[in-house]
Amino acid sequence: MVNPEHVQALREKHSTLERRINTENQRPHPDDVRIAELKKKKLQLKDEISRLEH
């Protein structure tokens, strides 16, 4: 049984990562390595959310 609160928490983390990626991209000299790390974490969360919902 999937815990809806857990899925919601994962969605919130996903949104937070999206904001952090956008913030980093807006900097005068974005850190490409940091952006790649954030995107990887964001994708992992997306995959986990998808797995839990299906």
DSSP three-state, residue 1: coil
pLDDT for the residue 21: 98
Helix residue ranges per DSSP H, the chain = 4-26, 32-53
* DSSP-derived 3-state class of residue 3: coil
CB count within 10 Å of CB 45 equals 19
Q: Running along the chain, 54 residues long, what does each successive block of 10 average in pLDDT?
A: 92 98 97 98 98 91
| Structure confidence at residue 45 (pLDDT) | 98
* CA gap 32, 16 in Å, rounded: 18
Write the Ramachandran bin of 39: left for phi over 0, alpha for psi from -120 to 50, otherwise beta: alpha
